[in-house]
């Protein structure tokens, strides 16, 4: 198939209808100057073939293809191409019957695209399929070699070259289809997920629920059948009982009336006995009064006298014991004073030693000052004798001092000459060295500047790092702290849950009853709202509160109602609404009476032992406001049963006294107190809250620090790089010749400075020596006047030394006086210590005397106690005689009480029997009414009455226990009511529908999974075939590539090979040989040679699967004439089965 003619109308530069005929079946060249429209003919072919990338036809939109964009009155662009289709081997699919095929494409401004095939409208896809079937895919146009294509090929990477081979082999189309198939699989996967979601979230739960409802429905039917059976059995039993009660009541009434008569006889007999016993008691009372008169009174007087004597002797004995205790206290006080005196004595001895040491120091100073005075006196005597002092203080004559000055002047002059010579030499060396250094200054200067620049950059980075105000490793420390806090929180949560597990009653949780619920309305358990002031009262407070500890406090009764109805509470709770609860508290007067009775510290209102928020006052009064807490059982008993108080009282040990008749106590439980444990729970909760707040604050700090830390690390990294760079530059500077020369220069400069300093110093020394020599000469001249002056100075020094020596001597004497005074204090302390020892000895003697007296008095006290005991025994015997008479009277009284009790019992029994008679009459009437009612209500009773209670019948009460049947019936009624509310009567039908839908979805799911597995298997099979086809294509293209390149550039060779270490499937790259030398890189070739390489590859691709048409747009533009001639030769040799269109600039 090839182009026979092209008709252009309104397309680009062709305003008028233009028909181009006479195309050669093999080669067609289009030449002309720039702008003559030669490329527009090629663009028209591409436009007709259906190109979508308009940039390849040098247009941005379809309107650009119309002549002058439709501005010249032409609003339509049309291209028609007639193809010769006489060769049926190359015919498009479906057009084998046509010898010619005419395809037209039109584009209208503001309108739509239109295709025609042989004058018939066709859609875009049909046209694409027509051209693709003969290898003319214009949207991947390997047959189209436009301007710039060669450059693009040269810049391709190995994978891009491989993609060209794939396109030539036709496997790219497979890749597109494969991607489409994978997308289909993804859609199938999505569908599978959707099916799975529907199954899991909708159908399966629905089926499960319906199965449960079906079982509930079946159970409901079963319950109804059983209720019907048991109801008859139970009603029959009740009927028999009612009849039996009616028959039995008459006999029981007669029996009870007989019992009443007997009890009335017993009452009469007991009244007679009581009267006789009262007479006997009266006689015994009179006899006892006569005997009690004189004997008992005399014995009581004797006992009182013995007690008085015993008390007197006991008081004297106690007084002596007190005196003994006083003396022992005094002895302890004296012993304590002696210990303190010993300590004071030791301290005073240390103080004496310290002051004595100070005296020795002053004595040494005084001796030194005395020696200085002696030296001053000696100097004064020497001056008086004509000698003089030099600068060192030594005594010498003026002549001797002048000789010393001359020596100093001579020495200074010598040192000055040496320094001058050294200075001169150093200056000459410095000058020559500086000249050498200037020559090598430039390189060093650059390095020095670079070093300074690095130094400044470092300083800048350091400034920026300081501005960040970030401590190094702070983030790591905070992260470690974060980990530690996380561990602590985890441990605390574990502790908290462990405590709750041990005391599950302390756990209170609920669900918000409604949206936007205010949780502050629910205050919590009473136990969680209090704090025990003193843990010793925890047990008592638990007994006071009892189960109310686990009551829930809320703000209003409305809140409580919502909480109970919709709060999903895990167990039953009692609610305390603060707005409705009313509590009575112990009155302040009652508390004062109790405190006066047992002491204010021994009794407390339970409410005062707990702490709570003021808003909870009413609830706490309700729980703790009506009970006292006492320290022990005796006090609790007094408080609870006092007639003025009569209030429930609890001891700290857990004993309860209740004036209304309850007393509890015993061994105290070893289990931990609930309130104590709740306090521990609150402590853990508070600590957990603190830790969580710390963790939150730490996380915020870490979040804020993250950017700063990252910035700091970046700056630190830059600083380290600059430091390393600076160190390298510094090392380079130090190792350079310039630096060494510079060091020598610095050393010479230092030598010059030192020499100049030495010259300066020697001049000053010489000057001073000369001035001194001159002064000494003047002294020699004025020897008498100088002597007088020195004498005055010596006298002055002498006076000063004397004053100092006198002062030292005075201080030493004052210190001596201080030593004497403190020594006296020490002796006084020693005397006081001795006095205390004497007093202690005296006290010990007194104690011994008191102990003897006490021993004697103890015998007398024992004797008096014996007299008291004897008198008490006699008195007790007499009282026992009277007690015996009392016992007889008590026995008689007890008999009377016994008979009275019997009478009371008899009267009570008579009343009970009267009550029973009334009850039996009522029961008999009720039973008769019940029998009558049951006969009216249940028609079947008359028909089946004869079977009630009969063996082997439906009403066999031995086989079927009616009482158990009644209990079972009650339970079944509850089950029926419960099931009746929830059972779904349509469950059976709905379940069938749901199961059918489930099976349908499962079938669809299996179909989708089968389709997926088939597609994946096909892809795997086609991948293998694609690789084989790609390998064959590479070998064929590689062969043609080498052949074409050899034709274009004789003596050269080229091939496509995979990169080193990779396969053909990873990519391909160019290998070119000029002669026998293979080039490593295309950059080693000239521009023309590289263009030939790219052109050879493009043309070899065209040969692999030849298209009927090829378009070459100025492909030889960058080549010289010899290469152009070679291209013509190559085209004639290799392209004998395709039609070629080539554009070319005219050759001058």
Task: Give the tens place of pLDDT for each residue, 618-662.
Answer: 999 999 999 999 999 999 999 999 989 899 999 998 899 988 765
Cβ-based burial of 1034 (10 A; exposed 0-12, middle 13-18, buried ≥19) = buried
How far is Cα 427 from Cα 759, in angstroms, rounded to an integer? Answer: 15
Instruction: Give the per-residue pLDDT at 1146.
Output: 63
Is a pLDDT exceeding 90 seen at residue 1064? no
From residue 429, alpha-carbon distances to 440, 615, 743, 762 in Å are 17, 100, 13, 24
How far is Cα 633 from Cα 653, in angstroms, rounded to an integer? Answer: 8
How much of the chain, in percent, has pLDDT values that exceed 90?
10
Of 567-576, 724-733, 936-945, 954-963, the least confident:
954-963
Task: Decide yes or no: CATH 3.30.565.10 for domain 1-143+1107-1148.
Answer: no
Rank 436-440, 542-546, 713-717, 1086-1090 by mean pLDDT and report only the highest.
542-546
Q: Is the distance from CB of 511 to CB of 567 less than 8 angstroms?
A: yes
- From the list 583, 575, 572, 565, the residue with the least C-alpha distance to 522 is 575
Is a pLDDT exceeding 70 seen at residue 609? yes
Is a pLDDT exceeding 50 seen at residue 671? no
Instruction: Give the per-residue pLDDT at 469.
Output: 73
Query: β-pairing, 649-651 with 656-658?
Result: antiparallel
- From the list 1116, 1132, 1133, the residue with the least C-alpha distance to 1124 is 1116
Is a pLDDT exceeding 60 seen at residue 293? no
How far is Cα 664 from Cα 650, in angstroms, rounded to an integer? Answer: 9
Is a pLDDT exceeding 50 seen at residue 670? no
Q: Is the distance from CB of 422 to CB of 751 less than 8 angstroms?
A: yes
The mean pLDDT of the chain is 79
Q: Is the distance from CB of 990 to CB of 212 less than 8 angstroms?
A: no
How far is Cα 742 from Cα 732, in angstroms, rounded to an integer? Answer: 14
Residue-wise DSSP of 20-67: E----SSEEEEE--TTSSHHHHHHHHHHHTT-S-GGGGT-SSGGGGBG
Is a pLDDT exceeding 50 seen at residue 916? yes
How far is Cα 146 from Cα 120, in angstroms, rounded to an integer? Answer: 31
Buried b (16+ CB within 10 A) or exposed e, 167-189: bbbbbbebeeebeebeeebeebe
Of 216-220, 313-317, 930-934, the least confident:
216-220
Helices (H), strands (E): how many in the chain? 23, 25
Q: What is the mean pLDDT of residues 910-922?
A: 78
Query: β-pairing, 395-396 with 522-525?
Result: unpaired
Rank 44-48, 147-151, 1113-1117 by mean pLDDT and report only the highest.
44-48
Q: 6 φ, ψ to 5°? A: -130, 135
Cα of first residue to Cα of last residue in the chain, in angstroms, is 35
How far is Cα 275 from Cα 277, in angstroms, rounded to an integer? Answer: 6
641 Ramachandran zone, left/alpha/beta (phi>0; psi -120 to 50): alpha
Q: Which helix (H) or strand (E) holds 627?
A: none
Residues 6+ apart with CB under 8 A from 112: none
Is a pLDDT exceeding 80 seen at residue 45? yes
Query: β-pairing, 1069-1074 with 76-84?
Result: unpaired
Task: Please work out, in degrees rounded to the nearest 5, the angle formed at the alpha carbon of residue 901 by the alpha carbons of 895 and 905.
Answer: 145
């Amino acid at each position: 198939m090839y182009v026979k003619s092209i008709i252009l109308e309104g397309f680009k530069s062709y305003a008028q209808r233009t028909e181009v005929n006479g195309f050669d079946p093999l080669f067609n060249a289009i030449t002309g100057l720039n702008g003559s429209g030669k490329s527009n003919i090629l663009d028209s072919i591409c436009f007709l073939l259906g190109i979508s990338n308009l940039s390849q036809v040098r247009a941005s939109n379809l309107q650009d293809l119309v002549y002058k964009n439709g501005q010249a009155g032409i609003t339509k662009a049309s291209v028609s191409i007639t193809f010769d289709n006489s060769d049926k081997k190359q015919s498009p699919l479906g057009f084998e019957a046509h010898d010619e095929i005419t395809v037209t494409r039109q584009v209208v401004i503001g309108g739509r695209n239109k295709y025609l095939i042989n004058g018939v409208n066709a859609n875009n896809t049909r046209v694409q399929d027509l051209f693709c079937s003969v290898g003319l895919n214009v949207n991947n146009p390997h047959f189209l070699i436009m301007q710039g294509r060669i450059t693009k090929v040269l810049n391709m990477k190995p994978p891009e070259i491989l993609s060209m081979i794939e396109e030539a082999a036709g496997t790219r189309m497979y890749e597109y289809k494969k991607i489409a198939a994978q997308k289909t699989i993804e859609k199938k996967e999505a569908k599978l997920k959707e099916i799975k979601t529907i199954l899991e979230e909708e159908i399966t739960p629905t089926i499960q629920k319906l199965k449960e409802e079906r079982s509930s429905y079946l159970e409901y039917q079963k319950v109804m059948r059983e209720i019907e059976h048991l109801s008859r059995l139970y009603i029959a039993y009740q009927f028999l009982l009612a009849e039996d009660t009616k028959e039995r009541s008459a006999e029981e009434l007669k029996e009870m009336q007989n019992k009443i008569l007997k009890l009335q006889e017993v009452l009469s007999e007991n009244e007679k006995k009581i009267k006789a016993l009262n007479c006997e008691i009266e006689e015994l009372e009179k006899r006892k009064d006569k005997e009690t008169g004189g004997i008992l009174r005399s014995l009581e007087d004797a006992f009182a006298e013995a007690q008085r004597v015993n008390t007197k002797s006991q008081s004297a004995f106690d007084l002596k014991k007190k005196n003994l205790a006083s003396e022992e206290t005094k002895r302890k006080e004296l012993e304590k004073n002696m210990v303190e005196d010993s300590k004071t004595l030791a301290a005073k001895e240390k103080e004496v030693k310290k002051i004595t040491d100070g005296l020795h120091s002053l004595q040494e100073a005084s001796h030194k000052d005395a020696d200085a005075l002696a030296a001053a006196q000696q100097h004064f005597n020497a001056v008086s004798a004509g000698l003089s002092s030099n600068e060192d203080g030594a005594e010498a004559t003026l002549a001797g001092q002048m000789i010393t000055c001359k020596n100093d002047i001579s020495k200074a002059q010598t040192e000055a000459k040496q320094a001058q010579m050294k200075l001169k030499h150093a200056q000459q060396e410095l000058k020559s060295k500086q000249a050498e250094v200037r020559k090598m200054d430039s390189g060093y200067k650059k390095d020095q500047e670079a070093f300074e620049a690095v130094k400044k950059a470092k300083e800048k980075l350091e400034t920026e790092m300081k501005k960040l105000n970030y401590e190094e490793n702070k983030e790591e420390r905070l992260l470690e702290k974060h980990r530690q806090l996380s561990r602590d929180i985890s441990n605390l949560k574990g502790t908290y849950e462990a405590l709750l597990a041990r005391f599950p009653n302390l756990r209170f949780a609920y669900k918000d009853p409604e949206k936007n619920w205010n949780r502050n309305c629910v205050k919590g358990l009473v136990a969680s709202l209090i704090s025990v002031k003193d843990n010793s009262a925890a047990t008592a407070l638990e007994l006071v509160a009892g189960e109310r500890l686990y009551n829930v406090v809320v703000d209003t009764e409305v809140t409580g109602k919502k909480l109970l109805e919709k709060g999903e509470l895990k167990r039953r709770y009692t609610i305390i609404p603060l707005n409705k609860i009313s509590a009575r508290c112990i009155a302040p007067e009652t508390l004062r009476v109790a405190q006066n009775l047992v002491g204010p510290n021994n009794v407390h209102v339970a409410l005062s032992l707990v702490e709570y928020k003021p808003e909870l006052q009413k609830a706490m009064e309700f729980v703790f406001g009506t009970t006292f807490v006492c320290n022990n059982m005796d006090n609790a008993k007094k408080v609870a049963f006092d007639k003025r108080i009569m209030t429930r009282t609890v001891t700290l040990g857990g004993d309860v006294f209740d004036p209304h008749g309850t007393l509890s106590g015993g061994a105290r439980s070893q289990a931990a107190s609930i309130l104590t444990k709740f306090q521990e729970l609150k402590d853990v909760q508070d600590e957990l809250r603190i830790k969580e707040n710390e963790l939150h604050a730490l996380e915020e700090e870490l979040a804020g620090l993250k950017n700063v830390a990252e910035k700091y690390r970046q700056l630190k990294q830059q600083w380290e790089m600059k430091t390393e760079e600076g160190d390298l530059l510094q090392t380079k500077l130090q190792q350079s010749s310039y630096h060494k020369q510079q060091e020598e220069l610095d050393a010479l400069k230092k030598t010059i400075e030192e020499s100049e300093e030495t010259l300066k110093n020697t001049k000053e020394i010489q000057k001073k020596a000369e001035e001194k020599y001159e002064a000494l000469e003047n002294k020699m001249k004025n020897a008498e006047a100088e002597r007088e002056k020195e004498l005055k100075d010596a006298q002055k020094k002498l006076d000063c030394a004397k004053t100092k020596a006198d002062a030292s001597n005075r201080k030493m004497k004052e210190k001596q006086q201080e030593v004497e005074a403190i020594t006296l204090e020490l002796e006084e302390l020693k005397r006081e210590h001795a006095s205390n020892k004497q007093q202690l000895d005296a006290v010990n003697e007194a104690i011994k005397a008191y102990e003897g007296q006490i021993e004697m008095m103890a015998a007398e006290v024992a004797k008096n106690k014996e007299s008291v005991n004897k008198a008490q025994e006699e008195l007790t015997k007499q009282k026992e005689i009277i007690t015996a008479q009392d016992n007889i009277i008590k026995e008689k009284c007890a008999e009377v009480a016994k008979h009275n009790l019997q009478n009371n019992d008899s009267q009570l029994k008579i009343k009970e029997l009267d009550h029973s008679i009334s009850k039996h009459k009522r029961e008999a009437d009720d039973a008769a009414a019940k029998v009558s009612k049951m006969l009216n209500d249940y028609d079947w009773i008359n028909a089946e009455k004869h079977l009630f209670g009969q063996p082997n019948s439906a009403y066999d009460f031995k086989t079927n226990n009616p009482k158990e049947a009644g209990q079972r019936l009650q339970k079944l009624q509850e089950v029926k009511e419960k099931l009746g509310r929830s059972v779904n009567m349509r469950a059976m039908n709905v379940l069938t529908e749901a199961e059918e839908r489930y099976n349908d979805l499962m079938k669809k799911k299996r179909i989708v999974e089968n389709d997926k597995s088939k597609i994946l298997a096909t892809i795997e099979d086609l991948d293998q075939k694609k690789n084989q086809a790609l390998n064959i294509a590479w070998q064929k293209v590689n062969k043609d590539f080498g052949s074409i390149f050899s034709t274009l550039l004789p003596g050269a060779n080229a091939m496509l090979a995979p990169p080193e270490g990779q396969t053909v499937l990873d990519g391909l790259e160019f290998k070119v040989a000029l002669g026998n030398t293979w080039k490593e890189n295309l950059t080693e070739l000239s521009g023309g040679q590289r263009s030939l390489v790219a052109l050879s590859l493009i043309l070899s691709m065209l040969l692999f699967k030849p298209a009927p048409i090829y378009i070459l747009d100025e492909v030889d533009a960058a080549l010289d004439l010899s290469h152009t001639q070679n291209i013509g030769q190559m085209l004639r040799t290799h392209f004998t089965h395709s039609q070629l269109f080539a554009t070319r600039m005219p050759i001058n």
